[in-house]
């Protein structure tokens, strides 16, 4: 069995599932609290930096339901 990191480094071919895994690996959890993150998300919506929650979710790489859930608190 060959690791995905080896395949990623050796071949230029990009598989959609491998791309998603790479994006997930790049996301690093920060030490910021949930309240700060939610405040940033609300500001982005209030200042029309994003059209709606769905667009915000796409940009963040999370589900729309997760954004809605966080903003309800």
What tokens appear for 16 in the block?
């959609």
What tokens appear for 21 in the block?
């895994």
Give the pLDDT confidence of 34-72 residue by residue, as tens digits. Answer: 888 899 999 999 999 999 999 999 998 889 999 999 998
* pLDDT greater than 80 at residue 9: no
Instruction: Look up the pTM and report it.
Output: 0.55
pLDDT band at 33 (very low <50, low <70, confident <90, very high): confident
Residues in the chain: 73
CA distance 55 to 61: 10
CA distance 36 to 22: 26
pLDDT of 48: 92
The continuous run of DSSP H or E covering 7 comes out as helix 4-10
- The answer to whether the CB of 1 falls within 8 A of the CB of 37 is no
Q: What is the mean pLDDT of residues 1-18?
A: 67
């Amino acid at each position: 069995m060959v690791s995905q990191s080896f395949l990623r480094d050796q071949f230029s071919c990009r598989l959609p599932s491998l791309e998603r895994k790479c994006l997930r690996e790049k996301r690093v959890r920060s030490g910021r609290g949930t309240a700060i993150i939610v405040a940033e998300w609300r500001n982005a919506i209030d200042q029309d930096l994003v059209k709606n929650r769905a667009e915000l979710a796409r940009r963040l790489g999370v589900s729309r339901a997760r954004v809605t859930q966080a903003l309800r608190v």
